[in-house]
Amino acid sequence: MTYPENPTENSTENSIENPFGTSITEADILAQIQQCQGWEQRYRQVIQWGKKLPTMPESLKAEQVLVAGCESQVWLVGQQVNGVWQFCADSDARIVRGLIALVLAVFNGKTSEQIQQFDVEGYFESLGLMQHLSPSRGNGLTAIVEQIQTLAVEQQ
C-alpha cells in the first residue's frame, strides 16, 4: 500500500516530517543505545524514540495497511519518491512505536536495493534488544521489516 496520490503537496494530510532515516540515523541509534546501561535504560530510550515518531494521519490507518503478524495494531505505508523509499508507520503501543522508529531509521530514504541488502539481523543484534523482547514482539518486529522488504521488492 502506498500513500495517497500527490504526497508532496502541502497538505497536512500527506506531508509527514519523519526524522528517522534523515536526522536520526542508524549510527545515531547505535551510538545512543550503546550508552545505555542495561535493558531498562534501553527500553526507556526506545520509548523516547517512539514519542518522536510522527503520528500517522487517521486517513491512512486503513485495515489493508495493517501489518499481519503483530500483536499490537501496526499500520505501514510506503512510497518510492525519486528512487528512494519514504515510510510512514504507527502503532497503538508505545514500545512498538519505538521499535518502528528503529526500523525506519535504517529504511527511510533508501533504495529498494539498499533495503534488500541491509543486514537487519546484525542491526538488531548490535542493538541488543531482541533477546529482551517477548516472542510476540519479536515476531511483530520481524513482520514490520518483512512488510517493508516486500514493498521494496514489489516496486523495484
- Give catalytic residue positions: 70
Helix 94-107 / helix 135-154 crossing angle, nearest 10 deg: 40
Give the helix/strand (H/E) hosting 105: helix 94-107
CA-nearest of 79, 129, 137 to 108 is 79
Q: Cα(60)–Cα(133) distance, rounded to whole angstroms?
A: 28
